């Protein structure tokens, strides 16, 4: 299950949306993310770390990241690397879909999973100014600027979306 927002810019009227979390197509998303990792799309160091460590999983869950310097945002996978800590997790990694379902039967983020430990956190960098990016919190999600003109979203036309 994932969540998202649909916005309409208060200045140029552009409609835009973002989605976070994982849905029922996660196995394919995870497989695609691993293929990009193996092809070096996330950098040579990330590829080598993945290849030289046993039972590694990559965080393919989508999130919104905000630049702490200029406010630019992007919607992409977390990309941190985790190592499986028990047989169940190792099996999940080898079967190509390391997702943990918590007591509430909802998928948990990789860092919240007791059967994995963080190997290396991915540092998201802003493509506009090179600044550090951080995961957006709930309040920041409501105010994501328009990707076309930089205007604020119209609160009357901001919708919360649950998706699967």
Compute how many other C-beta atoms are within 10 angstroms of the C-beta atom of residue 107: 19
Model confidence pLDDT, tens digit, residues 91-130: 888 887 776 544 444 445 544 556 888 899 999 999 999 9
**Opening angle at CA 13, ends 140 and 145, nearest 5:** 20
Extents of the domains making up the chain: 2-163
In this structure, are residues 80 and 123 in contact, taking their beta carbons and an 8 Å threshold?
no
Model confidence pLDDT, tens digit, residues 29-76: 889 999 999 999 999 999 999 999 999 999 888 899 999 999 999 999
In this structure, are residues 58 and 79 in contact, taking their beta carbons and an 8 Å threshold?
yes
**Opening angle at CA 123, ends 125 and 78, nearest 5:** 100
pTM of the full predicted structure? 0.83
Compute how many other C-beta atoms are within 10 angstroms of the C-beta atom of residue 57: 26
């Amino acid at each position: 299950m994932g969540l998202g927002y649909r916005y309409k810019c208060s200045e140029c009227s552009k409609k835009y949306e973002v989605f976070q979390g994982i849905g029922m197509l996660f196995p394919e998303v995870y497989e695609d993310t691993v293929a990009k990792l193996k092809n070096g799309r996330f950098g040579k160091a990330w590829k080598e770390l993945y290849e030289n460590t046993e039972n590694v999983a990559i965080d393919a869950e989508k999130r919104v990241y905000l630049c702490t310097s200029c406010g630019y945002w992007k919607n992409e996978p977390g990309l941190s690397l985790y190592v499986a800590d028990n047989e169940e997790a190792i099996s999940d990694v080898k079967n190509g879909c390391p997702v943990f379902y918590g007591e509430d039967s909802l998928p948990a983020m990789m860092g919240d999973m007791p059967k994995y430990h963080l190997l290396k956190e991915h540092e998201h960098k802003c493509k506009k100014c090179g600044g550090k990016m951080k995961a957006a919190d709930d309040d920041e999600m409501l105010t994501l600027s328009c990707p076309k003109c930089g205007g604020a979203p119209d609160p009357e036309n901001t919708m919360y979306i649950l998706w699967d």
